[in-house]
Amino acid sequence: MEDINKILELFDSREKWNAYIELSYLRSALVNELISRLKSQLCSIAEDRLMDSGWGFNFYDNGQISIYLKRNSSMRIMIETSSWGNEWYRRGASIYVNPSMVDCNTVFDAINANKHLLPMADYVDNKENSLWHLFVKQIPARIWGVENNVTSFDECLFGAKDNAQDLARNIWNDVFQPFAKKEIANLMLNMIKE
């Protein structure tokens, strides 16, 4: 209650209170605008860099961003911001496998056996937490331009306000570019078939 009283003290005039209320109503619109800016830039990068790579690209407005194997979409390199609340997926990216389409245990074993051939230096085994996000990594705070304690997608989006292109490039280079090669796509496709 003491925190609430301190916050209320910030509003020492009706104008300040009304401005706060007005901004609160616009919160969703502001976040959606930043998502739209980031999405536009990431789509542009993907269109340019995924040609003939064996990968496709998706960016859903709920903050799910991924490259997926075109010949078998059951495996993705994914940022699923709705899962960032999980301690094991703080500001995370993952190698995602759809358990309704493939045997996750077989795919997990195949990835583990071929780890040395994949750009997985920052990824850790996550099978005990999720059959979907078999391997995860934390996206460094510097990629988003935030402090390390920030894990909210809405807060991470602030970089899209003034420079969505740089934010998109940073995300692409850190999360997707290491995998966005035809030879990696073919290798991962073979792991699904094993």
- For each of the chain's 194 residues, which pLDDT tens digit applies? 678 888 888 888 899 888 888 888 899 999 999 999 999 999 999 999 999 999 999 999 888 999 999 999 999 999 999 999 899 999 999 999 999 999 999 999 999 999 999 999 999 999 999 989 999 999 999 999 999 999 899 999 998 999 999 999 999 999 999 999 999 999 999 998 76
The verdict on pTM exceeding 0.75 is yes
Stretch (H or E) spanning 118: none
Q: Give the Cα separation of 130 and 94 in Å (integer).
A: 11
Encoded amino acid at 4, one letter: I
- Cβ atoms 100, 77 nearer than 8 A: no
